[in-house]
Structure 1
Amino acid sequence: MLTEAGTRVNFDLILTVAILLNLLLALFLRRHKRRLPYINRYKFPDTIRNKLLEKYPHFNDSDIDMILDGLRSYFHICNVAGNNAVAMPSKVVDEAWHEFILFTAQYRKFCKKGLGQFLDHVPSLPLNNPAQHMGNASLKRAWRLSCEREKIDHVNPPALPLLFAIDELLKVQDGFYYSLVGEALEGVNDAKNFPVTRIGCTSNANCGASCSSAYESEAAPDVDSTQPSPTFSFFTNSLSK
């Protein structure tokens, strides 16, 4: 049976631990918020724009601006996710990310200041069976955080967030196209757009764990998802010290 003194010691210990945890959380959020202006203001190397225009000569300057906005948005959700992996939903934004990585010193500095850690690029992972998406936490996390960033209800989305819409908006060949409605045929990659309902986040189920957010929202693009998609695959990232 605990004595009064023992009970007091246990209470003080619990209180101390709670205070420390709150301080650590406050420190994390403070650092996170400090990174947001840096990511927002960061000027990507002009060579990235030139390389994208070489690869996609039919794009105009506004298209390239949209791609770089998508890359900036991706870095924002990676910042929110911390050490948790986040899938890359867009083929064309991944092209911009890959070009940025080639500027080794600048990319390393950006990761340190904007993300607090180095963001590794992991090769694409094709998912031949749409049913496999249901359990993929990194894609769920990308969906939920992208929707949260643009103030879209991830359970009942009225539109696709930029990272999930951009490939179709720009009509990227072999891009990753998504649809708000419909059911993908299992084992078939080119039947129709990949329905976001199959990601497993358009329900009250856990969408890749919770993360604290502190970013400004953007208007969600309105997408007419009617174009066919040849393949669905995605890129993931990992963070390392």
Structure 2
Amino acid sequence: MYLIWLAGAVALVVGVWWRRRVGRSRLQRQRLRYVQAYAFQPRYHDALRVAYPQLDAEGFKQAEQALRQFFIMHLLAPGERLLMPSNLADALWHTFILDTRRYQQFCQQAFGQIFHHIPSHDMPSSASVAGQGGRERMQATWNAAMASKRWLPLAMLGGIPLLFALDAHSGIEGGQRFAEADLRYWAVQYARVVSAGNADTSGGSASSGSGESDHPSSWSSDSGTSGSSCTTRSTGGDDGGSSGSSSCDSNSSSCSGSSCGGGGSD
């Protein structure tokens, strides 16, 4: 009789755990689809053009997609502290926050709470990727951006995650530009993570799961250094052949953890 009661208790606990897991998974998918389909207000473009008068309609659409990518990254990796690699996407985020009613409604649907913007003065002393430590800090952001490809058809620009390529591609003044050596480093580290994961699950060889390379084949094999110049190269990436970036020197303006609150401009 004792064993019967024990088996029943175990089955109950497992059943409750499984239902909660399925429920969380379903909720995450709902939130991801909501962010995918969310339509930003066209009037945000006018606000962005005050800071970036050269921004055209295509650049604004790419900024929307990049900010959408950033939100999806946080949904996929809620425990990570992710940096914001694009000043243009960050400016759009500021504009969105100032539309307080819509931003609150969006956050409730997408995250279940207000998604806080962390001002630059609350950041660590520098988000520069110069040096090994800086590169490692940005790695989680790169990994999350690569993982967003499943949920964001235009997640890549010239073989580089959109958030990392956007500022150089749009040509905005004072935008984020990353050294080719840094881009290559993040791509290689991500490929190793994917390879290790595939080996653990299937014992097979590395694959990104999307049938494509996780870094552009046109990247040179020289070691390079952070801060070196990087020319734009067309690599026939996920966006149907758009070109990626960049020339390099980086200061990230903001980052966000999994908790949310407070916005406005820095």
Matched residue, 1:204: 192
Matched residue, 2:142: 143
Separation (CA, whole Å) in 2 of partners of 1:28 and 1:118: 19
Q: Counterpart amino acid of 2:171?
A: K
Q: Deviations over 1:112-155 (max 9, x none)?
A: 0122221100123423443223543xx43322222122259xxx
Matched residue, 2:101: 105
Q: Counterpart amino acid of 1:197?
A: Y
Alignment match of 2:252 (pick from 218, 233, 236): 233
8 Å contact from structure 1 (residues 52, 96) kept in 2: yes
Separation (CA, whole Å) in 2 of partners of 1:196 and 1:94: 24
Give the gaps of 5 or more residues in structure 1. 153-157, 183-193, 207-217
Separation (CA, whole Å) in 2 of partners of 1:45 and 1:224: 27
Identity %: 20
- Superposition CA RMSD, Å: 3.1
Instruction: Indicate the SS of the match to 1:228.
Output: coil
1:67 Cα offset (Å):
0.6
The TM-score normalised by the length of structure 1 is: 0.71
Q: Counterpart amino acid of 2:147?
A: E
Matched residue, 1:173: 173
**Would you tell me which structure has more strand in proportion to its own residues?**
1
Instruction: Indicate the SS of the match to 1:230.
Output: coil
Give the gaps of 5 or more residues in structure 2. 153-157, 195-236, 262-266
Separation (CA, whole Å) in 1 of partners of 2:191 and 2:32: 29
1:54 Cα offset (Å):
1.6
Q: Counterpart amino acid of 1:166?
A: L
1:65 Cα offset (Å):
1.0
Instruction: Indicate the SS of the match to 1:233.
Output: coil
CA 1:84–1:230: 2 relative to 1, 3 Å: closer
Q: Counterpart amino acid of 2:167?
A: D
Q: Equivalent residues in 2 for 1:4-19 (5 A)? A: 5=2, 11-19=7-15
Q: Counterpart amino acid of 1:132?
A: G
8 Å contact from structure 2 (residues 127, 251) kept in 1: yes
Separation (CA, whole Å) in 2 of partners of 1:168 and 1:70: 13
The count of aligned residue pairs is 206
